[in-house]
Amino acid sequence: MWYNLYMNREVVSETSNAEMVSITRAEYGELLELREQNRWLMEQLRVVKSKQFGSKSEKSSEQVGEQLTLLFDEAEAWVTIEEKQAATKVKEHTRSRKSGNVRDILPENIEVVEVEHTLPEEERACPQCGETMQPIGKEVQESLEFIPAKAILKRDIYYTYACENCKKNDISTPIVKTPKDAVLIPGSYAAPEAVAYIAVQKFVMGSPLYRQEQEWNRQGLMLSRQTMSNWLIYCSDNYALPVYLALKTEEMKHDLLHADETELQVLHETNRTAQQKSYMWLYRTGGDAEHPIVLYDYAPGRGQEYPNAFLKGFHGYLQTDGYSGYHGLEEVTHVGCWAHARRKFDEACRAVPKGKRSPTAEQGVAYCTQLFELEKEFKDLTPEERKKQRLEREKPVLDAMLAWANTRNAAPKSALGKALTYLKNQWPYLNNYLLDGRIELSNNRAERSIKPFVISRKNFLFANTARGAQSSAVLFSLIETAKENGLDPYRYLTWLFAEAPRLSHADPEWASKLLPWNAPENCRPAK
């Protein structure tokens, strides 16, 4: 079969004539395929450019607001601006004074160094009578100084005692030695403060060991990155890991968890090349936990066996994104993430050419936005009341959205097609948040917890060995859990590394006593 196409061909006279050209079915099919590929590539280019150069916010646009009004014909949609302002309740708050004075930003217990500036005695002679002038007042000028981290050699001196009287009378002289504190690392000069500082610089401030090595070398301390790495691994294996396992035991007692995962490159791993992807998995407690727990777990892959192994013994709700690796967990109710569903439709809105709109994508965003707006209203309710309100007010929105989605079609590989496919495939999991009022609408809690690792990874790029990656996972876990419980990471790790060597030799249950919520008050940030 032949197909007739009209094509514009330029002639010598610089005029264009429409010319009909006949092509075969195969050529026509190839042309359609090329057009589809070109459309898909342009769509992907617009999405990538939007992510790289556009606004990262997924806040609803004015166009989506119009869709909300059309989709949900509720009384609230037609309330006037004056009525909305009158109905809005603003939570009371106290705004701290910001006068520009340095005292407004300083903690109460900051060290103050006073330097007095006086005139030499010969310059205090009175120009009238020649007598020495006396102080009658003073002006105080305050400034804030920063002192770079400095190394101090701590020298512990333990005295040995003997009885001089017994020695004079030739009696067997008893000798008593001052008991020594347990050392952090046998045969090493590492102190708890040093290892805690290195860990915080790497895992909180994102400064790789090679940068720390350069900084110390500039100050005259020839501390190598290999030495620092050995300190971190030893303290992780011997002190942080038992506390990590105690945290895991506590975490498995909860029946609501969040999970996420991200890539990590490991250079030297048995039977694997440096180019193969490894993963850092995250498991954390939900918003209902009295003591939040954030745990990282390194694994060489992304298969289902890894969350299965970590979550062994866990029974309850697990909220994640749409990754299918979580779906097969036994005795676990998988809960989807509406933030991911909304993001798919938001990307479909960004994928259309400039100046054009995608009403279907905007409607998808509008449905999701309606759910999030309702969740804001339910934020201060008890879990029982929230579940009731969800069934009464959000369930109808969900039913309407599913009916709407079943009437929409789009090219499977297009951004809109992916959004619709994601919505339909994830629908059973997306609806599971209705089962319990404690469950959140999105998995943003896990995404916020994995973000510190992602930011740090941009600095250290990769792990050298699998053992180093797991040590990093353990230390990251303790640091992020400490932060979630209102502790200063440096103070907490210093306390842990100071207490663990002593307790580990005397108390079989020592690890549970060093959990973040058992830390002393001085482990909290200065006020």
Give the model confidence (pLDDT) of 470-501 as tens digits.
999 999 999 999 999 999 999 999 999 999 99
| φ/ψ of residue 397, rounded to 5 | -65, -40
Q: Is 107 exposed, middle or buried (0-12, 13-18, 19+ CB in 10 A)?
A: exposed
Q: What is residue 72's predicted lDDT score, i.e. its pLDDT? A: 47
257 part of a folded domain: no
399 part of a folded domain: yes
Do you know the residue count of the chain? 527
Round to whole Å and give the CA distance between 378 and 433. Answer: 14
Alpha helices in 175-261 (DSSP H): 192-203, 209-218, 225-235, 241-251
376 part of a folded domain: yes
CB 366 within 8 A of CB 60: yes
Measured in whole angstroms, the distance separating CA 215 from the mean position of its chain's CA atoms is 27
Q: What is residue 43's predicted lDDT score, i.e. its pLDDT? A: 65
More confident residue, 139 or 39: 139
- Whether the pLDDT of residue 55 is over 70: the answer is no
- Whether the pLDDT of residue 64 is over 90: the answer is no
The domain tally of the chain equals 1
Beta-bridged to residue 19, according to DSSP, are 7
pLDDT band at 464 (very low <50, low <70, confident <90, very high): confident
20 part of a folded domain: no
Give the closest residue to 257 by CA, choosing from 299, 298, 294, 306.
Answer: 294
Q: What is residue 53's predicted lDDT score, i.e. its pLDDT? A: 61
Q: What is residue 269's predicted lDDT score, i.e. its pLDDT? A: 82
Residues 6+ apart with CB under 8 A from 97: 104
Beta-bridged to residue 20, according to DSSP, are 6
Exposure string over 322-353, b if 16+ CB within 10 A, otherwise e: beebbeebeebbbbbbbbbbbbbbbbbbbbbe
Round to whole Å and give the CA distance between 495 and 173. Answer: 39
Round to whole Å and give the CA distance between 396 and 402. Answer: 10
Coil vs helix vs strand at 323: coil
pLDDT in tens, 149-207: 889 999 999 999 988 888 788 777 788 999 988 999 999 999 999 999 999 999 999 99
Q: How far is CA 462 from CA 98, 268, 278, 453, 458, in A?
A: 42, 10, 10, 11, 9
Give percent above pLDDT 70 in the chain.
84
The H or E element that residue 466 is part of is: helix 466-484
312 part of a folded domain: no
Helices 241-251 & 466-484 angle (0-180, nearest 10): 60
pLDDT band at 251 (very low <50, low <70, confident <90, very high): very high
- Whether the pLDDT of residue 262 is over 70: the answer is yes
Range 124-139 average pLDDT = 89
Q: What is residue 10's predicted lDDT score, i.e. its pLDDT? A: 40
Structural domain of residue 413, as residue ranges? 343-442
More confident residue, 269 or 405: 405
Round to whole Å and give the CA distance between 260 and 448. Answer: 10
- Whether the pLDDT of residue 302 is over 80: the answer is yes
Range 435-444 average pLDDT = 96
Residues 6+ apart with CB under 8 A from 459: 206, 207, 208
CB 436 within 8 A of CB 390: no
Range 291-298 average pLDDT = 96
Q: What is residue 390's predicted lDDT score, i.e. its pLDDT? A: 97
Round to whole Å and give the CA distance between 346 and 415. Answer: 9
**Six-digit token string for 149:** 């981290």
- Whether the pLDDT of residue 270 is over 90: the answer is no
478 part of a folded domain: no
Round to whole Å and give the CA distance between 475 and 108. Answer: 30
Neighbours of 27 (CB within 10 A): 13
Q: What is residue 54's predicted lDDT score, i.e. its pLDDT? A: 59
pLDDT band at 352 (very low <50, low <70, confident <90, very high): confident
DSSP character for 291?
S
Q: What is residue 370's predicted lDDT score, i.e. its pLDDT? A: 96
Q: What is the mean pLDDT of the chain?
A: 85
371 part of a folded domain: yes
Between 13-17, 80-84, 319-323, 341-345, the lowest mean confidence (pLDDT) is in 80-84
Measured in whole angstroms, the distance separating CA 201 from the mean position of its chain's CA atoms is 16
Q: What is residue 457's predicted lDDT score, i.e. its pLDDT? A: 85
pLDDT band at 324 (very low <50, low <70, confident <90, very high): confident
107 part of a folded domain: no
